[in-house]
């Protein structure tokens, strides 16, 4: 096994183990922390894929922003912080069914998709290419702009909700 | 004479030469090349990781000394127990005292997050040093996303404050953690926008490239951006005018109130290390990093310039820390959302347009000085516009206050 493979299994184990820890944690806060660890594992996988920008974005967006948002939401929810809650409610069978179906669909997709593989190294200017593709009309300019409009709408919505009248 | 000039040549690029010497030694001992590279990387990582720790030991001493002198005290000194000349060993004594203290764990804490938080604080602040350019060839790793990596780590470190505050099972700690989110996330936005402006002008996220582009330090090209970045990073490292996470007087130290001994020491260390990192970042982004006279002849001068610039920023940081009182939480949030964020956004748009305009109008390229001049003019424009808007707002506020007062007086007269 090469060093890269060892690291791949290590980060994969972190991500998967943390994901299992998240769904089995008794406290919601612990679940959130497990989730952040899972994000960290995924960031490590991005580093192995020679995509440092995605790794940093993973840290920045998922751990720095979404993680904090989720913890904040937990802290603001009544009774979520101290007591140990039951792990399942009476809709567990439905959620389990949905999760199983999703798992089957994902596994099937991964299985039947012809994954293109290459042994070439990642291009040196991948970051520039990513930036150009995002603003290229032939590339992803439209989804990119739609996403920014969505974020601006969320921003204005937040301001409108908390505005003093 | 011969040996002296050889010694000087060695000294001129001392750190790189020492590295080459160790590499030669290892290769001579018969080790294979990949292993030697690995060992060299490990040595480099250890040196880079210890650098902020070393700086912090003296920074704490310097901070106490400067603060004392500004307040008419002596500060750490050797008049009682001997602590070295000017009390320079005081920090070592404090560190040893902290290490020997009893590890007190309050009841009802959440053990794993509680014990993990101080470690992660130090980890996150050391990690940012990996991409700091200490000299022309001295950098931990010159990632192509350099500056973004630093911001990502400082953003992810936010969670640690929440972990510490929440797991301590203390209401003051929890309030401190809540504030940390309000403050750090809020001030991250202007900081990010300021960095984005720098990235736009220099055209790279790579730290060495940002330094390389600064023939004229960006402070003199983008003073408004530097101002925004400086204020926002003061808030990010929780320095005095924005020191609301700790707030000794009302929150009795905020999120790390329940920590004692070395765990408290690690939070303290992390805070000083973050300040050092931010000073180094400011020196890199706005003061030209290792650039300065004689760097071509003697690359070691680059490291010295970098340290001098960093020390200068730390001194400014100390002076502000010591002089200013703390803001109220609502003032701090209002200052961020109503002043710094709009200013940073306007600054980003205008500098972006001007910078693009320069490239469009001068298709043959333009000298660094012309570009800097035009950018500076744009900055002066932004400054004057900001001043005008603030003055107009102040006048309107004053009129409203006078009208309100007049109405009050009228009411009093009627009721009398």
Question: Residue A75: its chain B contacts at CB < 8 A?
Answer: 162, 166, 174, 177-178
My answer on whether B264 and B138 are in the same domain is: yes
The proportion of chain B whose per-residue pLDDT surpasses 90, expressed as a percent, equals 19
What percent of chain A is predicted at pLDDT more than 90? Answer: 33
Rounded to the nearest angstrom, the minimum Cα separation between A64 and chain B is 4
Residues B140-188 pLDDT 10s = 888 888 899 998 888 888 888 888 888 888 888 887 787 777 788 888 8
Closest-CA distance, B161 to chain A, in angstroms, reads 10
- Residues B381 and B346: their CA atoms lie apart, in Å, by 11
Verify whether the Cβ–Cβ distance A127 to B144 is below 8 Å. Answer: yes
To the nearest whole angstrom, how far is the Cα of B370 from the nearest Cα of chain A?
27
Last residue of a domain, one of A32, A64, A85: A85
CB distance A63–B155 less than 8 Å?
A: yes
Largest CA distance in chain A: 65
pLDDT at B307: 92
B151 in A contact zone (CB under 8 Å) = yes
Last residue of a domain, one of B316, B345, B374: B345
Surface of B (182-211) touching A: CB under 8 A? 185, 188, 205
Contact A56 B145 (CB under 8 A): yes
B24-37 pLDDT per residue, tens: 888 888 777 778 88
Can you give the pLDDT at residue B414?
Answer: 64
Complex ipTM > 0.90: no
Residues A4 and A80 in one domain: yes
Residue at A134 is within a domain: yes
What is each CA distance from B286 to B137, B230, B281, B283, B312, in whole angstroms?
Answer: 19, 10, 8, 6, 13
**Is B58 domain-assigned?**
no
Percent of chain B with pLDDT over 70: 96
Residue A30 maps to which CATH number? Answer: 1.20.120.1200
Q: Name residues whose C-beta falls within 8 Å of residue B58's C-beta, 6 or more positions apart in sequence.
A: B88, B91
Quick check: B21 and B40 in contact, CB under 8 A? Answer: no
The answer to whether residue B217 is domain-embedded is yes
* Cβ atoms of A64 and A75 closer than 8 Å: no
Distance from B44 to chain A by nearest Cα, in Å? 20
The pLDDT assigned to B159 comes to 84
CA distance A88 to chain B (A): 23
- The set of residues, in sequence order, having a beta carbon less than 8 Å from that of A45 and lying 6+ positions away, is A8, A11, A12, A15
Q: Does B162 touch chain A (CB under 8 A)?
A: yes
Band (pLDDT 50/70/90 cuts) for residue B267 is confident
In this structure, are A74 and A133 located in the same domain? no
- Using CA coordinates, name the residue in chain A closest to B189: A65
Show which residues on chain A lie within 8 Å of chain B, measured between beta carbons. 27, 29-30, 33, 36, 52-53, 56-57, 59-60, 63-65, 67-68, 71-72, 75, 81, 124, 127
Residue A42 lies in a domain: yes
Of residues B110, B145, B188, nearest to A52 (C-beta): B145
Residue A14: per-residue pLDDT: 94
Clarify whether residues A131 and A54 are in a common domain: no
Q: Is residue B374 domain-resident?
A: no
Number of domains in chain B: 2
- Looking at the fold, whether A5 and A71 belong to one and the same domain comes out as yes
Pairwise CA distance, residues B66 & B322, whole Å: 9
Q: For residue A11, is it within any domain?
A: yes
pLDDT of residue B191: 92
Hey, which bits of B135-278 come out as E strands? none
Tell me if B341 is assigned to some domain: yes
Would you state the pLDDT for residue B178? 79
pLDDT higher than 60, residue B416: no
Instruction: Assess whether B27 and B105 both reside in one domain.
Output: no
- At B249, the pLDDT band (50, 70, 90 cuts) reads low
Domain termination residue (choose one: A60, A85, A110): A85
pTM of the model: 0.87
Host domain of residue A17:
1-85
Which distant-in-sequence residues (6+ apart) come within 8 Å of B327 by Cβ?
Answer: B241, B242, B244, B335
Is pLDDT larger for residue B364 or for residue A8? A8
Q: Would you say residue B413 has pLDDT above 70?
A: no
Q: What is the mean pLDDT of residues B203-216?
A: 87
**Do residues B126 and B8 both lie within one domain?**
no
If asked whether residues B147 and B22 sit together in one domain, one would say no
Chain A interface includes B114 (CB < 8 A): no
Nearest residue in chain A measured CA to CA from B206 = A127
For residue B20, name the pLDDT band (cuts at 50, 70, 90): confident
B158 in A contact zone (CB under 8 Å): yes
Asked whether residue B206 carries a pLDDT value surpassing 80, the answer given is yes
Copy the structure tokens of residue B192: 């990010």
Q: Does B174 touch chain A (CB under 8 A)?
A: yes
Question: Would residue A41 count as lying in a domain?
Answer: yes
Residues of A in Cβ contact (< 8 Å) with B174: 75
B185 inside domain: yes
Q: CB of B153 within 8 Å of any CB in chain A?
A: yes
**Residue B383 β-bridge partners:** none
Residue A157 reports pLDDT greater than 60: yes
Domain that holds residue B259: 101-345
- For residues B258 and B394, the model is more confident at B394
- Position B352 in a domain: no
What integer pLDDT is reported at residue A84 of this predicted model?
Answer: 62
CA atoms of B70 and B323, how far apart (whole Å) = 9
Residue A120 lies in a domain: no
Q: Which of A34, A62, A85 is the last residue of a domain?
A: A85
CB B11 within 8 A of CB B296: no
Residue A116 falls inside a structural domain = no
Q: pLDDT band for B248, please (50, 70, 90 cuts).
A: low
Using CA atoms, how far apart are residues B64 and B70, in angstroms rounded to an integer? 10
Quote the number of domains for chain A: 2
Contact state of B148 with A56 under an 8 Å Cβ cutoff: yes
For residue B239, pLDDT beyond 80: no
Spacing of C-alpha B279 from chain mean position: 4
Put simply, the answer to whether A64 touches B159 (Cβ < 8 Å) is: yes
Residue B384 confidence class, pLDDT cut points 50, 70, 90: very high
Residue A153 resides in a domain:
yes
Mean residue pLDDT across chain B: 85
Q: Is residue A33 part of a domain?
A: yes
Same domain, B188 and B330: yes
Nearest to B208 by CA among B304, B301, B306, B293: B306
In a domain, B68, yes or no: no
């Amino acid at each position: 096994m090469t060093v890269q493979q060892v690291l791949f299994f290590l980060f994969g184990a972190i991500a998967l183990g943390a994901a299992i820890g998240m769904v089995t944690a008794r406290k919601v806060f612990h679940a959130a922390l497990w989730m952040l660890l899972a994000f960290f594992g995924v960031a490590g996988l991005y580093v192995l894929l020679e995509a440092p920008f995605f790794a940093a974005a993973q840290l920045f967006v998922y751990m720095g922003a979404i993680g904090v948002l989720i913890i904040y939401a937990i802290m603001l929810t009544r009774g979520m912080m101290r007591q140990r809650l039951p792990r399942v409610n009476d809709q567990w069978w439905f959620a389990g069914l949905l999760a199983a179906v999703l798992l089957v669909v994902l596994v099937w997709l991964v299985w039947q998709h012809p994954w293109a593989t290459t042994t070439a190294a990642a291009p040196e200017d991948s970051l520039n290419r990513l930036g150009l593709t995002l603003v290229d009309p032939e590339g992803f300019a439209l989804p990119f702009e739609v996403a920014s409009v969505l974020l601006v709408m969320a921003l204005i919505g937040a301001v409108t909700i908390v505005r003093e009248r | 004479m011969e040996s002296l000039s050889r010694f000087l040549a060695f000294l001129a690029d001392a750190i790189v030469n020492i590295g080459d010497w160790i590499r030669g030694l290892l290769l001579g001992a018969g080790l294979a090349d990949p292993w030697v590279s690995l060992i060299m990387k490990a040595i480099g990582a250890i040196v880079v990781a210890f650098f902020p720790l070393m700086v912090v030991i003296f920074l704490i001493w310097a901070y106490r000394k400067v603060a004392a002198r500004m307040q008419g005290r002596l500060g750490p000194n050797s008049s009682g127990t001997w602590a070295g000349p000017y009390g320079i060993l005081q920090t070592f004594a404090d560190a040893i005292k902290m290490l020997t203290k009893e590890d007190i764990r309050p009841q009802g804490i959440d053990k794993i997050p509680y014990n993990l938080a101080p470690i992660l604080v130090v980890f996150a602040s050391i990690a940012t040093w990996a991409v700091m350019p200490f000299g022309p060839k001295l950098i931990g790793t010159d990632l192509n996303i350099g500056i973004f990596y630093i911001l990502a780590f400082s953003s992810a470190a936010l969670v640690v404050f929440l972990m510490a505050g929440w797991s301590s099972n203390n209401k003051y700690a929890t309030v401190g953690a809540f504030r940390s989110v309000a403050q750090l996330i809020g001030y991250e936005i202007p900081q990010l926008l300021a960095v984005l402006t720098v990235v736009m002008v220099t055209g790279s996220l790579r730290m060495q490239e940002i330094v390389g582009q600064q023939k004229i330090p960006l402070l003199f090209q983008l003073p408004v951006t530097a101002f925004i970045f400086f204020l926002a990073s003061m808030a990010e490292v929780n320095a005095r005018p924005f020191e609301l996470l700790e707030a000794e007087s009302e929150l009795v130290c905020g999120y790390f109130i329940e920590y004692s001994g070395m765990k408290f020491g690690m939070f303290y260390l992390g805070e000083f290390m973050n300040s050092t990192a931010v000073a180094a970042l400011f020196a890199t982004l706005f003061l030209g990093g290792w650039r300065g006279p004689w760097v071509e002849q003697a690359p070691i001068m680059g490291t010295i310039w970098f340290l001098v610039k960093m020390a200068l920023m730390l001194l400014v940081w100390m002076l502000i820390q010591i002089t200013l009182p703390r803001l109220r939480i609502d003032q701090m949030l209002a200052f961020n959302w109503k002043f710094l964020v709009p200013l940073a956004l306007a600054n980003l748009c205008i500098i972006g347009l001007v910078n693009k305009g320069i490239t469009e109008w001068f298709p043959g390229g333009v000298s660094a000085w012309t570009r800097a001049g035009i950018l500076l003019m744009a900055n002066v424009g932004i400054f004057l516009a900001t001043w005008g808007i603030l003055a107009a707002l102040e006048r309107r506020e004053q009129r409203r206050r006078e009208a309100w007062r007049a109405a009050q007086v009228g009411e009093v007269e009627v009721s009398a």
